[in-house]
Amino acid sequence: MINNFNIKSDNFRYYIMGMLFVIWLIIYFQRINVSILLVDPIFLTEMDLIGQNSKQGLLMTLFLISYSITNMIASPIGDWIGPRKGMIIALSLASISLLFGGLATGIMGILVARVLLGVGQGIYFPNQSIIIRNWFPPIERGKANAIYAVGGCVGPIIAMPFFVFIVTQYNWQASFYIIAILSFMTLIPLLFNMVSDNPIISKFSTEKEKEFIIREQNDIKVTNKESRFILFKNLLSSLDYWLVCVSFICFTTIWWGLLTWLPKYLVEVRLFDLEALGWVATLPYMLAAVTVILGGVLSDRVGKRAIFGIVAFTGAALSLLVALFVQSNIICLALLTLCGGFSMLYYAPVWALLQSLLPSNLVGTGSGVMNGICNLIGGASPFIIGFLIDLTTHYSIGFSYMVVFGFLGTITCTILLKRSH
């Protein structure tokens, strides 16, 4: 029935962008309900997690390990069967994992659900990258990556108070079931071909738009299998590729560390109450929603995308470092907000940079390998931070781990800038 709707547009790619935004928002709902559960005494008691910060960190780290490995192993799926089908498989698995999480009666059940969620989302991301590569020419990719990434900022803004309400008024299981329903709904535009593999086969894109996208793409496409293998092998030996990977490792280390431990830090160290936490913990993501668009749009105009990494990492590292030692809770919160905002300034530029380095039919594989490696290393940060807190009983030591990676990101992006990126 949807296929019969007369919604053809010269700018249908922006409808695609909007759909990816909504899906990415729901994906962040899937990821971060555990961040609120870590301050729910009923959940912690039932799961025997009270006072065990390292095990609590595993709820995010195990998800990120499975997410990362799946990115690397399953990244060619979109190149083989098309990104739309790959996204359908991915979102179906993620939705099922949430139902399983709600039914869990012990920590092992929750961990299995988190691993399955990682598998589903690990399949999803490279396919989304292919969609962006196919639908948006290079001059628009920074903006395209920024718009969907806003969903990753808006998600926590809505999710934090939403999950606090659900957990305090109902129970922790409801936080899984409600998101499972929303997750199944994200399949609708994919099942009805609203999101197609590319504009050429789209029933909703006009000939004018298709011609514009094809004309502006101006990218390499390799068709010979042997040539693809050689090109991918050369890519893996490329210094630029690995510099981009290192910079993204620095981003994921800060982002996942902050996303996991910020609520608990604000409650245990800065003594915010649980009800206030729902809104207070959203402030870094509110600013990040602005800076991610700013980074995407401005990097399209400036061209030198590494500049945004230098500003982002330096600002995030300094903000977080000072926040750990100030006495005022308000100033600390303001600095943590700046940390979140600075870090997301680099998100859209780094993916636009990668998509420009890759041939069109290696985007899924190349994106998956980078996203997998970077989240595997960066995703260890929730566990490592928890371990350092357990070891020293000081959050400042655990959070300093993120500061180190912030300054490493500054160095890496400076090298990329010198290499004309």
Query: Which tens digits make up the pLDDT trace of 321-334?
Result: 999 999 999 999 99
pLDDT at 4: 47
Count of CB atoms within 10 A of residue 225's CB? 8
Does residue 227 surpass a pLDDT of 70?
no
pLDDT at 130: 87
Identify which of 9-23, 134-148, 399-413 has the greatest average pLDDT.
399-413
Higher pLDDT, 369 or 96: 96
pLDDT at 88: 96
Does residue 340 surpass a pLDDT of 50?
yes
Is pTM beyond 0.85 here? no
Binned at pLDDT 50, 70 and 90, residue 224 comes out as low
CA dist., res. 406 & res. 86, Å (int): 33
**Domain locations in the chain?**
8-196+203-216+224-418
Region 307-333 average pLDDT: 95
Per-position b or e across 151-165, b if 16+ CB within 10 A of its CB: bbbbbbbebbbbbbe
pLDDT in tens, 29-42: 998 888 888 888 89
pLDDT at 246: 96
Q: Where are the beta strands (DSSP E) in 60-117?
A: none
Binned at pLDDT 50, 70 and 90, residue 367 comes out as confident
Higher pLDDT, 246 or 136: 246
Give the helix ranges, DSSP H, for 303-394.
Answer: 306-323, 329-344, 347-357, 363-378, 381-392
Superfamily designation of domain 8-196+203-216+224-418: MFS general substrate transporter like domains (1.20.1250.20)
Count of CB atoms within 10 A of residue 327's CB? 6
Region 398-408 average pLDDT: 96
Worst-scoring range by mean pLDDT, 116-120, 270-274, 319-323? 270-274
What is the pLDDT of the chain when averaged over all its residues? Answer: 87
pLDDT at 5: 47
Does residue 180 surpass a pLDDT of 80?
yes
Distances (CA, A) of 168 to 35, 83, 165: 14, 39, 5
Does residue 137 surpass a pLDDT of 80?
yes
Identify whether the C-beta of residue 75 lies closer than 8 Å to the C-beta of residue 364.
yes
Contacts of 193 (CB under 8 A, 6+ apart): 2, 3, 84, 202, 203
Identify whether the C-beta of residue 30 lies closer than 8 Å to the C-beta of residue 117.
yes
Contacts of 234 (CB under 8 A, 6+ apart): none
Phi-psi domain of 171 (left: phi exceeds 0; alpha: psi -120 through 50; beta: other)? beta
pLDDT at 214: 81
Worst-scoring range by mean pLDDT, 9-18, 210-219, 293-302? 210-219
